[in-house]
Every structure is written in structure tokens, then in C-alpha cells.
């Protein structure tokens, strides 16, 4: 097990372990620095920058694996269905900007190189919504609005702590199965901010496997589930197959996402007993990762598939999933941004 995997496992242990206990002093420093930064914004020494259109920020208070990117994609679809013209901005975590470009905003297309744009932005762009990435989300959003002046609402993927971008709506998503781990701040635990932060957002969305009991994860939380049962071949996406095609022997599963075990568990609910190969979030796949002797099929997430297009053979399949939302969430958002648009 890698150090990163050991650390994540320790974060979600019921109490501090020797590893996480040794990191408590750093966690105290992290929490203090975050509090100072937020205070500087509150008193105006650091300034949040607004945009000419409403901004919806989707984020989490824990590191990785809570389902925020599927939630962003679902919100874009639902808002478009209600007549809005959304655009999406993201940091593009793990990307390597082109040489000489610095961190200039990049407009992302469905066929963009995920090494340059980031895997999640490319996945979001597949939905047909304009997407831009940059470490500075204000710069990304400004570039997006220049290129796509028709956009009348911006959704920020993973921007809850990016206080430089002013926002009209804040949505925090939590994984109801893992919640807040050991309850400690980074790096002794998985928390970016204290759970009390959830009391200040406009909506808390709880990712649950069965969609029930969202309020058990956080009072008043709205439920979200991920659904998907049809696989597509990585090198020929028009070719589909049901879960029954992968219920035999020799099936392997790879996942380089925030919580690989959630993907493996979903496969088991589909009756697929795959040999699991977890990788770190945003893992850059190489040919050796898919060189699995004896594998009759290799299944993966859609997020991983965007990075494996040039590596995949006919054994490689991905499983697209969509977030199913409580309709009350979109209604709540429209109530807030509708007034802003009219103003």
C-alpha cells in the first residue's frame, strides 16, 4: 500500500492513528492559516471579485471523492433544461499547462488533452457545456464569458474555498458513507474546513447509494444518487454492453478517483466480481497500468476513460454515471439566482 493510500485509510479510521497523530501540529497550523485567510476576506483586506452573471459554487469540506463533479454536470443539465445557458469553471486539478502558457485560462473541449486541461474538466465538457480552467477561477470565468457571451450562469466545480470568486449560491456535497472521517483538519484528517461550515451554505447534498436518509448525514441535506448500468468501449464509445457481459471470470477494474472503493462497490451491486486495482485520484495512466495478463475485460470510470483513450484496447470499457438530484435543489438555486439575473 502506498503512503497516500495509508494516509487516506487513516483519515477514515474512527480515531487518530499513530500516523495521523504525528500530523496534528500541522493540522493546527493549517486550520489557523485558513481562519486568518477567511478573516482577511471578511474585513475586506482581501477582496472577492464578482461576475456579471450569477455564480453557483459546488464544493466540499473534505478532500476528494464526494461526487461533486457528477453534481456539477447534473446541475448544468437541469439548469439548461429550464432555459438557462450555463458555463463551468474549474481549477483543473493535476493538469500541466502548456509550456510558456503559465496558468493562463484554457477553454476545454470534449477532445482536449486531459494532461493539459485536467480529467474532470474534459469529462464535464463532454456534456456539451462550455468549460474553462485556471487556478484563478475569476480569470477562468472571465475568459469563458468572453468566448461564450451567451452564458448567463457560471457553475464553479470545487470552488468552496476559492474565496476570490464571489458567489450567489454555495452548495456543499458530502459522501454520506464516509462523512467527515476522524473529524480532523488536513493533514491529520480529511477536512478542509470544519463541519460547522455546512451551516453557512445554501444547500448540503448528501451522496447516498440508495438515495434515502440524506438528513442522517447532515440535517436538512438533500439526497443525490449516482446511476448507470450500461458500459461503453473506451476506444469505440458507440459500442455498449450491459452489466451481464462482465459477470464472468477474468474481469479487472481500475479506478483513479477520490474514492475507488465506491466504484468497486457499485460494480458488485451490478453482480460484477472484478479484480480491483485502485490508483490515486487524477492518476495519469500508462500502458503498464492496463497490461493485465489474463484479463478478459477491464472496466473503469468515465473519468479514467478520458485519460486512457490512447492506451485502451478492445478489452477496456467505462461506466458512465449520472447524478440523480432532489428537484428541490434546482428550485432552491433558481429562487436565488433568478432575482440576481433580473437585477
Q: Residues 102-138: pLDDT tens digits? A: 678 999 999 999 999 999 999 999 999 999 999 999 9
Quickly tell me which residue has 454555495 as its cell. Answer: 170
Residue 157 three-state SS: strand
Rg (CA), the chain: 20
Examine the pLDDT at 75 and tell me if it is beyond 50. yes
pLDDT tens digits for 26-73?
999 999 999 999 999 999 999 999 999 999 999 999 987 788 999 999
The answer to whether the beta carbons of residues 306 and 92 sit under 8 Å apart is no
Is the previous residue joined to 181 through a cis bond, with omega within 30 degrees of 0? no
Q: How far apart are the first and last CA of the chain?
A: 54
Asked whether the predicted pLDDT for residue 212 surpasses 80, the reply is no
Residue 109, class by beta-carbon neighbours within 10 Å (0-12 exposed, 13-18 middle, 19+ buried)? middle
Distance of CA 152 to the CA centre of its chain: 23
Nearest Cα to 69, choosing from 158, 169, 138, 177?
158
Ordered by start, the domain boundaries in the chain are: 43-85+152-225+324-342, 231-320
State the Cα–Cα distance between residues 69 and 207, nearest whole angstrom. 12
Cβ-based burial of 212 (10 A; exposed 0-12, middle 13-18, buried ≥19) = exposed
The average pLDDT across 310-320 equals: 95
Q: Where are the beta strands (DSSP E) in the chain?
A: 55-59, 86-90, 106-108, 131-133, 153-157, 169-175, 203-207, 222-227, 231-233, 236-241, 251-255, 275-278, 297-301, 316-319, 322-325
Strands 222-227 and 203-207: parallel
- Identify the pLDDT of residue 214: 65
DSSP 48-65: -B--SS-EEEEE-SBSS-
The pLDDT value given to residue 102: 66
In this predicted model, what pLDDT tens digit does every residue of 228-266 receive, in sequence order?
999 999 999 999 999 999 999 999 999 999 889 889 999
Residue 149 has pLDDT above 50, yes or no: yes
**Confidence category of residue 169, pLDDT binned at 50, 70, 90:** very high
| Chain segment 172-202, per-residue pLDDT in tens | 999 988 889 999 999 999 999 999 999 999 9
Are 301 and 309 in contact, with CB atoms under 8 Å apart?
A: no
Amino acid at each position: 500500500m502506498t503512503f497516500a493510500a495509508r494516509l487516506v485509510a487513516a483519515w477514515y479510521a474512527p480515531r487518530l492513528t499513530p500516523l495521523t497523530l504525528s500530523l496534528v501540529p500541522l493540522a493546527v497550523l493549517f486550520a489557523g492559516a485558513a481562519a486568518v485567510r477567511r478573516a482577511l476576506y471578511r474585513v475586506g483586506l482581501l477582496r472577492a471579485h464578482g461576475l456579471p452573471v450569477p455564480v453557483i459554487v459546488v464544493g466540499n469540506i473534505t478532500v476528494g471523492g464526494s461526487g461533486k463533479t457528477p453534481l456539477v454536470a447534473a446541475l448544468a443539465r437541469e439548469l439548461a433544461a429550464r432555459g438557462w445557458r450555463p458555463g463551468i469553471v474549474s481549477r483543473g486539478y493535476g493538469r500541466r499547462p502548456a509550456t510558456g502558457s503559465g496558468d493562463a485560462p484554457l477553454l476545454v473541449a470534449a477532445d482536449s488533452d486531459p494532461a493539459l486541461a485536467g480529467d474532470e474538466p474534459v469529462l464535464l465538457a463532454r456534456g456539451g457545456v462550455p468549460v474553462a480552467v485556471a487556478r484563478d477561477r475569476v480569470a477562468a470565468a472571465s475568459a469563458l464569458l468572453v468566448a461564450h457571451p451567451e452564458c448567463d450562469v457560471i457553475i464553479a466545480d470545487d470552488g468552496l474555498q476559492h474565496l476570490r470568486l464571489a458567489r450567489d449560491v454555495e452548495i456543499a456535497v458530502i459522501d454520506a458513507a464516509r462523512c467527515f472521517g476522524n473529524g480532523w483538519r488536513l493533514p491529520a484528517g480529511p477536512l478542509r474546513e470544519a463541519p460547522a461550515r455546512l451551516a453557512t451554505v445554501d444547500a448540503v447534498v448528501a451522496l447516498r447509494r440508495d438515495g434515502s436518509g440524506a438528513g442522517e448525514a447532515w440535517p436538512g441535506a438533500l439526497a443525490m444518487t449516482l446511476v448507470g448500468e450500461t458500459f461503453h468501449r473506451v476506444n469505440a464509445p458507440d459500442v455498449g454492453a450491459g452489466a451481464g457481459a462482465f459477470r464472468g471470470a477474468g474481469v479487472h477494474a481500475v479506478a483513479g478517483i477520490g474514492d475507488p472503493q465506491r466504484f468497486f462497490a457499485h460494480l458488485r451491486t451490478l453482480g460484477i466480481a472484478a479484480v480491483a486495482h485502485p490508483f490515486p485520484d487524477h492518476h495519469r495512466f500508462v500502458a503498464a497500468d492496463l497490461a493485465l495478463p489474463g484479463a478478459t475485460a477491464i472496466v473503469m470510470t468515465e473519468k479514467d476513460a478520458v485519460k486512457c483513450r490512447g492506451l485502451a484496447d478492445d478489452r477496456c470499457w467505462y461506466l458512465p454515471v449520472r447524478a440523480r438530484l432532489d428537484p428541490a435543489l434546482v428550485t432552491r438555486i433558481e429562487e436565488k439566482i433568478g432575482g440576481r439575473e433580473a437585477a
